[in-house]
Amino acid sequence: MTTADICVVVPTIREYECIRAYVANARDHGFGTDRLHFVLVTEDFCDADAMRGMLDDLDVSGRVFDESDREAWYDEQGVSEYSHLVPAASHAQTSFGLLYLWNNEFEYGFFIDDDTLPHEDHDFFGQHMANLAYEGEVERVASDEQWVNVLYENADEHGLYPRGYPYAAMDETVETDTTTVDHVVASQGLWTNVPDLDAVRILMDGDLQGQAQTRTGADDFGEQFVAAEDNYLTVCSMNLAFRREVVPAFYQCPMDDNPWNVGRFDDIWSGVFLKRAADVLGGQVLNGDPLCEHNKAPRSTFDDLTNEVAGLECNEHFWEVVDGEGADADTYAGVMAAMADALVEGEFDDYQNGEFLNYVGEYCLDWLDCLDELAPVAGHEPVTATADD
């Protein structure tokens, strides 16, 4: 009997039934569901028992964690002092899934958002795992702004830039060539239907319901590609697979539940961490298939704008702070520690809510310490507490 080696993390307060479609997709394409262990991260006001019943009905392994369950888990693992790392009522609660994955020594992780569905003709889990195992030639994309628009392939027609793409990096000149990859550490599947845009861009597209009127289809995406070394890209956690080794440099930043009310950049900034660390260590982030269908529920675009505006200026500069850090490190934890130190020690008074960048750096150092409490982290030496004399 195969032991589950893939931890599938699904943050959900609404459409948890989407998991049925993903399990059906796996079975339809012959992917062994005994490899999958689902972790649903939800809230106390949600019906966690119904979620557990669904997993039982599907005959798949998994656990459901509402806020009370998470608090109990921290106590059981002896890491309650680090519970602040996972913010309340935030999509960044995916970090809890990373802690669970790390503690239980899963080799691979998936992030799936509950407002998505797999394309029936895409072997969702099989394609992601094939991407992580891929060695060979692939298209490489670079720009003169050091940022790659993951929607670049048809950008001349739709003009879209994804959520988190810096405004200063727009109107870039794109160059493509071919490279060889030999260690894919993350596989980012892209999305049809509702594009993943920020609120400013949605407003510019003339939509007040948080969705954008311009939609993407399968023909907007071509071959798989990687962003060139020293180039960054937006990493969206709605459709993502990754190797265990990247978890120390993949913290989903403490959004929403913070004194500045900065939100909506958790996966974006974690993707910057990941890309910097992967560049240092010779890993690659592969993008493209498998596509998913993104069915974002209507909501006020102005609500999203309120959640984003506090961090918009910080997002323009976040990547510049960590770019170049950790060049001599030989582990993901080592690169993450260097990036965290740069954030902690930086002076960002010129940016609106710049202190939040220092705050994120401090949380990243706590992240490494928490992981080390759960299971040893290669290349990390936790800070030893000393008693007062």
From 255, 272, 248, 269, select the one nearest 336 (Cα to Cα): 248
Per-residue model confidence (pLDDT) at position 337: 98
Residue 341's pLDDT band (cuts 50, 70, 90): very high
Q: What DSSP character marks residue 216? A: B
Q: What is the pTM of this model?
A: 0.95
Only one residue has tokens 């900034």, namely: 269
Per-residue model confidence (pLDDT) at position 376: 87
Decide if 15 contacts 115 (C-beta within 8 A): yes
Decide if 150 contacts 221 (C-beta within 8 A): no
Of the chain, the percentage scoring pLDDT greater than 90 comes to 94
CA atoms of 239 and 194, how far apart (whole Å): 14
Only one residue has tokens 């992780």, namely: 109
Per-residue model confidence (pLDDT) at position 383: 52
pLDDT tens, 33-85?
999 999 999 999 999 999 999 999 999 999 999 999 999 999 999 999 999 99
pLDDT tens, 124-145?
999 999 999 999 999 999 999 9
pLDDT over threshold 90, residue 250: yes
Q: How far is CA 12 from CA 19, 51, 269, 294, in A?
A: 10, 10, 21, 14
From 149, 171, 283, 285, select the one nearest 221 (Cα to Cα): 149
Decide if 161 contacts 233 (C-beta within 8 A): no
Q: What is the largest CA-CA distance in the chain?
A: 67
Q: Compute, in degrees rounded to 10, the torsion defined by CA atoms 321, 327, 332, 333.
A: -70
From 293, 311, 265, select the one nearest 163 (Cα to Cα): 265
Estimate to the nearest angstrom the gap between the alpha carbon of 284 and the chain centroid. Answer: 15
> Terminal CA-to-CA distance of the chain, rounded, Å?
56
**What is the chain's mean pLDDT, rounded?**
95
Query: H/E element holding 366?
Result: helix 355-374
Q: What are phi and psi of 140, to 5 degrees?
A: -115, 135
Q: What are phi and psi of 198, to 5 degrees?
A: -85, 170
Decide if 286 contacts 377 (C-beta within 8 A): no
Contacts of 45 (CB under 8 A, 6+ apart): 13
pLDDT tens, 166-211?
999 999 999 999 999 999 999 999 999 999 999 999 999 989 999 9
pLDDT over threshold 50, residue 389: no
Decide if 361 contacts 254 (C-beta within 8 A): no
Per-residue model confidence (pLDDT) at position 315: 98
Only one residue has tokens 């670049």, namely: 152
Pairing of strands 116-118, 184-193: unpaired
pLDDT over threshold 60, residue 32: yes
Per-residue model confidence (pLDDT) at position 380: 73
CA atoms of 41 and 80, how far apart (whole Å): 17
Q: Compute, in degrees rounded to 10, the torsion defined by CA atoms 200, 201, 207, 211.
A: -100
CA atoms of 113 and 122, how far apart (whole Å): 17
Q: Compute, in degrees rounded to 10, the torsion defined by CA atoms 317, 321, 324, 327.
A: -150
Is cis: bond before 290, omega within 30 of 0?
yes
CA atoms of 249 and 368, how far apart (whole Å): 9
Query: What value does the mean pLDDT take over residues 270-289?
Result: 98
Per-residue model confidence (pLDDT) at position 2: 52
CA atoms of 279 and 293, how far apart (whole Å): 30
